[in-house]
Amino acid sequence: MPLLIPYNFPALGLLENDKLVLPEIKKEEVQVRIAILNLMPMKISAEADYIRLLANSPLNVEIKWMKLRSHISKNAPKEHMDKYYEYFDVQRNEHFDGLIVTGAPLEHLDFSVVDYWQELTEVFNWAHEHVNSTLYICWAAQAAMFHFYQVPKYLLPKKMFGVFPHHLLVKGLPIFQGFDDEFFVPHSRHAEVRREDILKANGLELLAESDYSGVYMAMSGEGKEIYVTGHSEYEPYRLDTEYKRDIRKGLPIEMPMHYYRDDDPKNEPVVRWRAHSSLLFSNWLNYYVYQHVHLHP
């Protein structure tokens, strides 16, 4: 599980209970370079989520953190962003094998009024031309599907919040290697994309969905872009943290569905998505980023 990341990177402190072993590797030993455009407000928590999953691979992976000039994070210390993140217009001149673009709490806004929308679409276009595969998560998946295919997003009457069963619509793809017929994914979002719009988009393929939470994964370019609407990367207590945060703020929020044991928030979560989350990221790294096969049955 070798990763090349900065020494004493703060997110590593959140991974002590995971007992991750991260052998030191040298720059010349790196096999895969991944850039992560982290748009999540709680930067360090999101960093830990992705480190945990990208470390679960035999590949030697270097992770570089990306930021945008047109956006200043309100929740992350400036010192952290200055020390560990580089601007996109600098990183675009480097070689990367893969890119991850995270979610962001912007679903209530039209894409065109997001302050960094123009620069973000430059990232999308750059990745399409220069990166083997890009993994778009939650709001980023909605944004990228809108940019490339004009797939609209729709506000939901209430937050899609909980852990839901999903099934595959296309079997035999490398991204689903080892998946069960039914698998679970956390969702935490106020908007959705709809299957009928994806099915009408030429070049966009719907791969997996849930009877309750709807579209989960779509793909274009045989894996050039992979769009994931849920938060497979979430650690076990993330939905609990979000739920209790919103309660403290007095926001209208219902208890996350199918999450707490016996549906009681006094109990611990029932964790049933982490095995497939690990498969998702290891399959993406191996088949779409490293081997760059883009196989289709």
Mean pLDDT computed over 32-48? 92
- C-alpha angle 281-175-54 in degrees, rounded to nearest 5: 10
Catalytic hit among 47, 62, 107, 138: 138
Quote the mean pLDDT of the chain.
Answer: 91
Return the pLDDT at 16. Answer: 61
Answer yes or no: is pLDDT of 270 > 90.
yes
Per-residue pLDDT band at 22 (split at 50, 70, 90): low
Query: Is 138 tagged catalytic?
Result: yes
Which residue's entry shows tokens 């992770």?
63
| Segment 80-127, tens digit of pLDDT | 999 999 999 999 999 999 999 999 989 899 999 999 999 999 999 999
Catalytic member of 147, 166, 187, 231: 231
Mean pLDDT of 174-190: 96
Q: Is the pLDDT of residue 53 over 80?
A: yes
pLDDT of 73 reads 82
Q: How confident is the model at residue 198 (pLDDT cuts 50, 70, 90)?
A: very high
Rounded Cα–Cα distance for residues 206 and 233 (Å): 20
Tell me what pLDDT residue 296 has.
Answer: 40
Task: Give the number of residues written for the chain.
Answer: 297
pLDDT at 7: 66
**What does the pLDDT average to over 156-174?**
96
284, 226 contact by CB (below 8 A) = yes
Q: Is the pTM of this model over 0.85?
A: yes
Domain locations in the chain as residue ranges = 3-290
pLDDT at 18: 61
CATH fold for the domain made of 3-290 = Rossmann fold (3.40.50)
Q: What is the mean pLDDT of residues 228-246?
A: 95
Does the structure show a pLDDT above 80 at 265?
Answer: yes
What's the alpha-carbon Rg for the chain, to the nearest Å?
Answer: 18
Does 17 score more than 50 pLDDT? yes
Stronger pLDDT, 12 or 180, i.e. the higher one: 180
Torsion of CA 207, 105, 159, 262, to 10 degrees: 90
Identify the pLDDT of residue 8: 73
* Phi and psi angles of residue 272, each rounded to the nearest 5 degrees, phi first: -140, 20
Average pLDDT (123-144) is 97
Please say if 107 is a catalytic residue: no
Q: Catalytic site residue 79?
A: no
Between residues 139 and 13, the one the model is more confident about: 139
Catalytic residue, from 47, 209, 225, 233: name it. Answer: 233
pLDDT for residue 294: 44
For residue 297, pLDDT over 50 is answered with: no
Is residue 275 predicted with pLDDT exceeding 50?
yes
* Burial class of residue 207 in the structure, from the number of CB atoms within 10 Å of its CB (0-12 exposed, 13-18 middle, 19+ buried): buried
